[in-house]
Structure 1
Amino acid sequence: MHEYCYLNFIYPITQVVDLGCSECGIVRFYREVPSIQKIQLIDIDRSTLEAHKNYIKPRPCDYIFKRDNPLSIEIFEGSATDVDQRIMGCDAISMVEFIEHLYPDTLRRVEETVFSRLYPSIVVVTTPNYEFNSLFPGPIRFRHYDHKFEWTRGEFQKWGQDVCDKYGYTVCFDGIGNPPPECQHVGFCSQAAIFCSSSPHRLKEESEGNVYSLVAESVFPHKDKETLSSDEILKLEVSYVINLLKRAQPSPREQDDIEDVDQIHIPISRLMNFTRISKLVNIESLRMFLVDNGYQLTEDQSNLITPMDDECEDHDGWHSDEGTEKLPSDTETEVGGDQTLCTAPAIDSDNSAELWE
């Protein structure tokens, strides 16, 4: 659904809870957020959760393009009015097209649970905009048989402001799904409220223990944390890149008309084009590092002089698990192109529509 694309947090979220997760579709988007390390999906309908629990399993590409940070995903059967100790301390809570399924007294209890007892830094709520319903064919009615209400923009904004006044949050309103140009007066198809806590370090209340029932959980593969020092990493990176560039040179037999084929000159700026080096040092620090580690530079210190060996060492398999690196072009050197050893596949825009179904 389009509402899910709105929930791409710009904050450093590590633990997110989705209340009323239904078919668990939101996990497809949360697992792509690098900072998130725990996703907890909660719904009261166990049969729906059981039918869709495989959605949280790692895909083949998750084993190939591993995350930098750990990630675990849990599905719980439980009520949004209860506080399970396993969701305490979450950074963010989302309620996507959920509150309209609640009776007014239940909604008030959910408000208390979310905004007072759990008190996350961020709460994102989306719900249908009743004013938009006039654009649908047939008589104006609720969009789903289970909806207990559908609010106009004014009603939704009043509810959001009342929540802020009661629980100490600030709110901004937005929406998802633009109306036709001639119908701008009806607003977005779905309306969104983004609540931010004004005192994020407030102490949380005690939970009720493990009141939810665990339906499924998955742990995603991730990269091992680096144990080498920055100087050790730089030494390996420089050695690897030099050998990579040497491999790209024509063989000596192809250079019979060129003098001094037993050595090559590599511009220092060329080394800096590799992100794994440039994120560790600037160009002046790199020059000092090369000199300190016994590398020979030209008189103006603009080029590295290195022997043109017949064979280049693999340097103990450094990067050997990440494939073959593409060499930076001159244009990429000017703009600081990111030359990493493996790149996640791009989403095919022709097939992107299926993500929103």
Structure 2
Amino acid sequence: MSKETKAELTESDGSRKLEDENSLGDVKFYPPLYTQRYSFATKILEKHGVKWVVDLGCSECAVVRFYREVPNLQKIQLVDIDRETLDFNKNRIKPRPSDYIFKRTNPLSIEIYEGSATSLDKRTVGCDAVSMIEFIEHLYPDILEKVEENVFGQLQPNLVVVTTPNYEFNSLFPGELRFRHYDHKFEWTRSEFQSWCQGVCEKYKYAVEYTGIGDPPLESQQVGFCSQAAIFTSSSQSKPSVESKGNCYCLVAESTFPYKDKDTLSVEETLKSEVSYIINLLTRNHQTMDFDQSCLCVQEDDKEQMEIPVEHLMFFSRISKLVKTDDLKKFLQDSGYQLTEDQTRVIIPLEDDWEDRYGSEEESEMDTCVEDSNENSYEAATSCVIDTEEIWD
């Protein structure tokens, strides 16, 4: 990429980092709004069965923690012009230890590229979807027009997800009415955003649906969502023949995730792996598990041990899909686990070297994210801690 191209794009200075609506005062979001935006985009990708997504303006690559959990996704490409930030965060795309235990049923490759969103790299041609999360407001109008042409005119994915600040919401923040970040080149009202979206649809033959992220207070419903979102869809099944300059992006890092066929392991082998992982997860987090007093830590012969209700293991969908409660109890006994006399709890000795054996507390939090988000599942209670370092957009 030329120096001239770098000079004309302002997202290259890393200024998008540390941008968080919660820091603006008064109105607070929980979970943080950046987390809600990533979750929103992830659900859209899953709903549309996307297998290949390109995220433009990825900055710190934080969205990959969410996208990698979409079962159907087989390729994730992250693109940004800020090489320093990409180099610093490139390890985010590496498989976690748990990914080698609980292998995906579909292959997944993740690639990070340094490159301009205005340029067409042939390695992105053919993608199903493009996401631009809080990205377009960092572009000057002439640069945004080039990005539109690249995404909607040349890549032409079936799905494009765009989020951007809703300027009307800014009236709820303290102080004078202003943009949320010094690097924003614009912040649109809802009518301005929808006008831009309609122009895109008319020019490139897309349909659009409007929604948003970040509910306003009950007394201020008139301002709309904090972030406005547009979901562009195309019904065209044929991909146009486009001419690319070749590999104009620079590959920064790539990772390939382990995966397996569904029939590779027997039910018993799968259950053994699931039970072992979940018990280890619960045990090594025992000091912070004050949300449920039914998991007991007791002293027995001067040794600390933990008693986990068998029913709680059944709350994990990965176990309950494989076995019923009585069969799980028999499996635990046959596998050498000790149960209480009434057979309602499994007894696990606690050791001092859990971190050395199973990883740090931070790794444990990331592993907890691997569990699916079934709202009836026990893992939903073991909420994943999101790093505050990600509050940039």
Distance 1:320 1:197 in 2: 42
**Match status 1:339 vs 2:332:** no
Q: Offset of 1:319 from its aligned partner?
A: 5.0
Which residue in 1 is equivalent to 2:99? 62
The structure whose Rg is larger is 1
Separation of aligned partners in 1, 2:90 and 2:226: 29
2:227 pairs with 1:187: no
Cα distance, 1:226 vs. partner? 4.3
Query: Offset at 1:354?
Result: 4.8
Match of 1:83 among 101, 120, 131: 120
CA contact (8 A) 2:101 2:273 kept: no
CA drift at 1:182? 0.2
Report the residue type matching 1:322 in the other structure: S
Q: What letter is aligned with 2:322?
A: Q
1:6 equivalent to 2:40? Answer: yes
| Distance in 2 between residues matched to 1:67 and 1:73, nearest whole Å | 14
Partner of 2:25: none
Per the alignment, residue 322 of structure 1 pairs with 273
Paired residue type of 1:177: G
What is the alpha-carbon distance in structure 2 between the residues aligned to residue 323 and residue 137 of structure 1? 49
Partners of 1:29 and 1:67 in 2: CA distance: 15
Structure 1 runs of 4+ off > 3 angstroms?
Answer: 224-227, 318-325, 347-357
Letter in 2 for 1:338: K
Alpha-carbon distance between aligned partners in 2 of 1:320 and 1:5, rounded to the nearest angstrom:
29
Distance change >3 Å, CA 353–CA 42, structure 1 → 2:
closer
Structure 1 residue 199: Cα displacement: 1.2
C-alpha distance in 2 between matches for 1:79 and 1:147? 18
The Cα shift of 1:72 comes to 0.7
SS in 2 for 1:6: helix
Give structure 2 stretches of 5+ with no counterpart: 1-33, 277-309, 329-367, 372-378
1:105 aligns with 2:174: no
1:208 maps onto 2:237 in alignment: no
Q: CA RMSD in A?
A: 2.9
CA distance in 1, matches of 2:116, 2:185: 17
Q: 1:61 to 1:348 in 2, by over 3 A?
A: farther
Please, what TM-score do these two structures have when normalized by structure 1? 0.68
2:158–2:233 Cα contact (<8 Å) kept: yes
Q: Which amino acid aligns with 1:38?
A: K
Contact 1:16–1:40 (CA<8 Å) still a contact in 2?
A: yes
Tell me the CA shift for residue 201 of structure 1: 1.6
1:249 paired residue number:
none
* TM-score, with length taken from structure 2: 0.62
Following the alignment from structure 1 to structure 2, what is the Cα–Cα distance between the partners of residues 215 and 349? Answer: 34
> Does the CA contact (< 8 Å) of 1:128 and 1:150 recur in 2?
yes
Q: Is the 8 A contact 1:168 1:198 kept in 2?
A: no
Please, which of 79, 87, 91 is the counterpart of residue 50 of structure 1?
87
Deviations 1:175-219 (A, max 9, x none): 000000000000000000000013132323122100000011111
What are the Cα deviations for residues 110-141 of structure 1, in whole angstroms up to 9, with x where unaligned? 00000010000000000000000011111110
Q: 1:324 to 1:190 in 2, by over 3 A?
A: closer
Cα distance in 1 for residues equivalent to 2:173 and 2:270: 55
Determine the C-alpha separation between the residues in 1 that align with 2:237 and 2:271: 44
Aligned residues: 266
The equivalent position to 1:38 in structure 2, one of 62, 75, 80, is 75
For structure 1, the residue ranges without an aligned partner over 5 or more in a row are 228-232, 241-317
Residue of structure 1 equivalent to 2:165? 128
Preserved CA contact (<8 Å) 1:83 1:211? yes
Q: What is residue 53 of structure 2 aligned with on the other side? A: 16
Write the distance in 2 (CA, Å) between the matches of 1:324 and 1:11.
32
Partner Cα separation in structure 2 for residue 163 and residue 196 of structure 1: 11
2: CA distance, partners of 1:106 / 1:163: 15
